[in-house]
A and B are shown apart, each in its own frame.
Chain A
């Protein structure tokens, strides 16, 4: 990472740790939502940005994670176990769904995941004996970890942010490992990757399953955050939102989801001035963005830096033409 990048990261962490001290309850709640949704977006970024698979089911995995955690806690299980159960269950379901689904063309996966998301929603809504249906599950307690109660907003935020940091670190390790290199190969040139012995099917499946598992973890944090969950929160709208977070931040860029989630959480607040028309403005902005800067914010920044570098030191002609044929993400 460049020096300016490291400085920016350090500054961001300091802000994230210090800012909540100056905010009221609602502000802290927004930040906690940001932290929790970023985890889901990080998972989707792995699936979409690194392995190149369009998944419209991430919202369903958040829902499965949330309900699993809530139900297990109500059954008396301690939170850490419920948390792990959510993660593992979503990993298994992701693997099970992905195994047949990833053998077909990319655009089909979007439809399969779309259908899966709606099916999950229907199950959550209809199976009242398990999920309380449309009445939802209320009174979800915030965990007590090693004697430290996270019931207060500030405490729970630091818990969420702590989990986010741990997961980000784990993902960073993953991306730096040979697996990370394999994921990039998968996205850039799957045919070449295959010819080099890379089992593209297995790696894609792994990316999808890990991504789904992160959705589950996000859900396991979401449940105690909002303390009341119902099926409507986990319908297609959430999956679209998460997808937009990844795209707006920059699909395939490590820090993209952090920025994308921040925008997605703050935008409704800023657009409150447009009153009821907020969704119309939001969707119009997305369309504009896709027309002019589909690489997301980090993609835009990367291109700006490259353009600056080219202007400062024009390279040999061969390199310029090579750069111009560079395949854009995604």
Chain B
């Protein structure tokens, strides 16, 4: 039982990180029909920004800020203006191909310009363990949970309780109508890209102490993002959060109780099962069939 609680807590922590990644992914899809196959690499990269900044002498907290800024500029602004915008008029498929190429580009860049070796990454809090109900719970897991929950709450407040947030929601649900109502749609879409950049940067800082900063992190994290978004229901932000948490918990439990060789298979099988039996995910709306 004790180890179950441990796994549950660390699963929730990982799940919270997956949730952040999945929320950003879902937002991009909702507002601009962008399926960002490079989302995993987007999470891999900011950690390297932090390490590079620290190599130049910046203290950890400053390096994180620098990384978030760089992330917003490169993975938000530049990504949207240079890659997504010119591509949108050509349809969804060229954009998909571009993001696949982008994921390769970012991965190889990290490998060639920083290092192909896994880099240790400093944790936000020292690794102390708490003893709760006989279970050993790491303070780090709790810290991750706290940061992730705070971020989600902040995002929720932004989207639902500010005028800006409501305009973004309108853009996501019905861009044509939003435009007629005077919402600056292009700017709203830009903001979702910037928000995604912030979310992936935060996720990066949270997950790199656990996974280490490796250029290959993007592959697993990308699949986790797609999975979480789909399980929760592609067209719902709340669903992405739920999907991420479920995925994190199941992933941790399966690592402990199932064969390690096929550990990676478990989320993939869930993905296939969900898509085939309940394509709208747990919370999504069933899109009217077209075929």
Binding partners A and B: yes
Q: Are the CB atoms of A243 and B275 closer together than 8 Å? A: no
A194 to B291, CA, bound (A): 7
Q: Are the CB atoms of B279 and A104 closer together than 8 Å? A: yes
Q: Does A164 contact B (CB under 8 A)?
A: no
A106 to B92, CA, bound (A): 10
Q: Are the CB atoms of A54 and B93 closer together than 8 Å? A: yes
B267's nearest neighbour on chain A, judged by CB, is A115
Q: Does A74 contact B (CB under 8 A)?
A: no
Number of chain B interface residues as a range = 35 or more
State the majority secondary structure of interface residues on B. Answer: helix
Q: Identify which of B100-108, B144-152, B160-168, B176-184 touches chain A.
A: B100-108
State the majority secondary structure of interface residues on A. Answer: helix
Q: Does B55 contact A (CB under 8 A)?
A: no
Q: Does A107 contact B (CB under 8 A)?
A: yes
Instruction: State the Cβ distance, A203 to closest chain B Cβ, in Å.
Output: 11
| Residues of B contacting A200 in the complex (Cβ-Cβ under 8 angstroms) | 291
Residue from the list B87, B93, B271 in contact with A291, Cβ < 8 A: B87
A118 to B227, CA, bound (A): 14
| Residues of A contacting B283 in the complex (Cβ-Cβ under 8 angstroms) | none
Instruction: State the Cβ distance, A45 to closest chain B Cβ, in Å.
Output: 13
Number of chain A interface residues as a range = 35 or more
Q: Does A145 contact B (CB under 8 A)?
A: no
Q: Given the interface contacts A104-B276, A111-B271, A291-B86, does A330 sit within 8 Å of B262 by beta carbon? A: no
Q: Does A154 contact B (CB under 8 A)?
A: no
Instruction: State the Cβ distance, B279 to closest chain A Cβ, in Å.
Output: 4
| Residues of A contacting B272 in the complex (Cβ-Cβ under 8 angstroms) | 112, 115-116, 119
A240 to B35, CA, bound (A): 16
Q: Does A315 contact B (CB under 8 A)?
A: no
Q: Does B290 contact A (CB under 8 A)?
A: yes
| Residues of A contacting B87 in the complex (Cβ-Cβ under 8 angstroms) | 290-291, 294
Q: Are the CB atoms of B98 and A291 closer together than 8 Å? A: yes
Q: Given the interface contacts A111-B275, A287-B98, does A279 sit within 8 Å of B265 by beta carbon? A: no
Q: Does A122 contact B (CB under 8 A)?
A: yes
Q: Does A301 contact B (CB under 8 A)?
A: no
Q: Are the CB atoms of B276 and A112 closer together than 8 Å? A: yes
Instruction: State the Cβ distance, A276 to closest chain B Cβ, in Å.
Output: 6
Q: Are the CB atoms of A280 and B109 closer together than 8 Å? A: yes
Instruction: State the Cβ distance, B168 to closest chain A Cβ, in Å.
Output: 22
A194 to B16, CA, bound (A): 43
> Residues of A with Cβ closer than 8 Å to B?
54, 100-101, 103-108, 110-112, 114-116, 118-119, 122, 125-126, 190-191, 194, 200-201, 204, 236, 240, 243-244, 247, 251, 276-277, 279-280, 282-284, 286-287, 290-291, 294, 328, 330
Q: A106-B92, A118-B268, A290-B90 are in contact. List 17 more A-B contacts (CB 8 A).
A: A100-B276, A101-B276, A105-B279, A108-B279, A111-B275, A115-B269, A118-B264, A119-B269, A190-B290, A277-B112, A279-B105, A283-B101, A287-B83, A294-B90, A294-B94, A330-B91, A330-B93
> Residues of B with Cβ closer than 8 Å to A?
35, 83, 86-87, 90-98, 100-102, 104-105, 108-109, 112, 219, 223, 226, 230, 261-262, 264-265, 268-269, 271-272, 275-276, 279, 287, 290-291
Q: Can you list 22 A-B pairs, Cβ within 8 angstroms, ordered by A?
A: A101-B276, A105-B279, A106-B92, A107-B35, A112-B272, A112-B276, A114-B223, A116-B268, A118-B265, A122-B265, A125-B261, A240-B100, A240-B104, A244-B97, A251-B93, A279-B105, A282-B104, A283-B105, A283-B108, A291-B83, A294-B93, A330-B93
